[in-house]
Homo-oligomer: A and B are copies of this chain.
Amino acid sequence: MASDSTTRTTTRFWKFVRRPAGNEQATESTWSIDSQALTALEAGELLIVTLFVSVDPYLRIQMSTDNTWQAPASENEPQLSYAIGRVIQSTEPDAFPIGCCVRTYSGWTEYAKVNASDVQRIDQSTTDPLPLQHYLGALGMVGRTAWWGVENTLRPKPRETVVVTGAAGAVGSLVVQLCKKRGCRVVAVAGSDDKCRALRDELGADATLNYKCDAIDWNHIDALQAVCPDGIDCFWDNTGGYVSDAVFRLLNVHSRVAICGQISVYDSGLNADSPAMGPRLLYLLIYKRALVQGILQRDATPEVDALHQREAAAWIRDGSLHDRFTIIDGFDNIPTAFNKMMNGQNTGMYAWLVVACFDA
């Protein structure tokens, strides 16, 4: 077995210990740090040190016992998530030599034993390797989500109006840019003037709305209508709630809606016994023959995957796609990062990442 000088016998990891009740946010005490032994590798296994983990809103859905996801996360189990790791021991040294980097779903752990068949090696052999964090961003799950939803569901045509909520988030910022690349008029909705400015100045959004702005009365569609004078052809929804309610009233005939997230209800509305309430909107779809589709990147076809990898890598390299990150230092800060992300407290752009370890 190939190995480096590190002989790890234990690892710290974050354990999901206290399920938020129906209407609660996750807090620092939702998780606690634990440690466990790292037994010797068996055939096909790798030992990795975690370099980056991503904190994503879908993790909050998984905490709900209301059966909306594959299965609810179990308490007292390690918190899983996408991560980038470096291989420090390998039973597959040809395919995964010591020092190579991989994308895994190993979660919030300093070290992890993983099956080689469950990870994707990140090719850094080119003369112009991309920074690793892009493989959690535009080239990773986040980018795959954007490309899949845009290509399969939104199918934007040049000059159509596209509205994106959560537009300054990891997926939203990519959707804004991808739809601009496709020739659309893009209206970006985000939660601060700083985010809106960046969406216009850096990402090319044609118009923005700060949904937290006190001057907007979301009981009426006026503010949204002012920036969507020709109605809305495509809607990428990351947030739900009153912004989405207004969008539904402005959908055009044969419009398309991708439901990627509904972050506004994750903390309070997932309990079937006390659901978040809103106006009944389904009747608005009838005359407009609008299509609404929930999306997950796992459904992506090989054709869309190839398009995604080709376009995203080329556009990162030529500087025309911004794939920025808010990086928070330190494994101990992962829950804090998650909670700040859920509250929209990233003053920078776009995804939240946590540097878990530097001692690889």
Contacts and interface: CB of A to CB of B under 8 A. Distances in A.
Given A262-B280, A269-B283, A291-B294, 6 more contacts: A68-B284, A240-B283, A249-B272, A275-B279, A287-B296, A289-B295
A218 to B, nearest CB: 12
24 contacts: A61-B283, A68-B284, A70-B287, A221-B272, A237-B282, A240-B280, A241-B280, A260-B286, A262-B282, A262-B283, A266-B283, A269-B283, A270-B283, A275-B280, A276-B279, A277-B279, A277-B280, A278-B279, A282-B292, A285-B294, A286-B294, A286-B295, A288-B294, A291-B293
Nearest to A255: B294
A315 interface: no
A290 to B, nearest CB: 5
Contacts of A61: 283, 286-287
Copies in the complex: 2
A283 B282 CA distance: 14
Contacts of A265: 280, 283
A107 interface: no
A259 interface: yes
Contacts of A279: 269, 275-278
A261 interface: yes
Interface string A60-91: 01000000111000000000000000000000
Contact of A278 (B68, B273, B278, B299): B278
A54 interface: no
Contacts of A276: 279-280
A244 interface: yes
A266 B292 CA distance: 21
Interface string A234-247: 00010011001000
A240 B280 CA distance: 9
A283 B58 CA distance: 11
A296 B253 CA distance: 11
Contacts of A219: 273
A258 to B, nearest CB: 10
Contacts of A68: 283-284, 286-287
A134 to B, nearest CB: 25
